[in-house]
Amino acid sequence: MEFKQRTLMQIADMICGNPKSPEEKCLFRYQSSSRLTEFFQDCDTDYRHDGSTRNYWVAETLKSILKEPQASANAPPETFARVIRVLKDQADAENEEPPRSGALTILNAALAREGFERRKSRGVNT
């Protein structure tokens, strides 16, 4: 499964906690290099940040994850679904209260480009 580079970079910026602009408050927790490694450990993977530019490294990691086997042609790999679940964790809310409707809107906009959306109570769906 392949996603557009634009989508990968948007999701990578969410995982890194990068705001869209300096004036904007980010709705995702900032992840330093070591926190990125912890994030992917929480997703049950062995990916370790190598010190390179955070969002580009995350985008390449997501690209690798999307190459994993899929249960069906219209479902992303389970690892990718775990990444999305960890990214949307209610305990990680930044600059908004749960249920993180602003973060969900941003995430859905990126996933919709690829034909997916993230629902509140489930993983990634078609």
Q: Which residues of the chain have pLDDT under 70?
A: 117-126
Distance, CA of 36 to chain centre: 11
The SS3 call for residue 117 is strand
> Domain coordinates of the chain in residue numbers?
5-125
pLDDT at position 121 is 45
Q: Which long-range contacts (CB under 8 A, 24 or more apart) does 113-122 make?
A: 113/4, 113/6, 113/7, 114/3, 114/4, 114/7, 115/74, 116/76, 118/84, 118/88
pLDDT at position 22 is 85
pLDDT tens digit sequence for 62-71: 999 999 999 9
pLDDT at position 21 is 85
Distance CA 91, CA 80 (A): 20
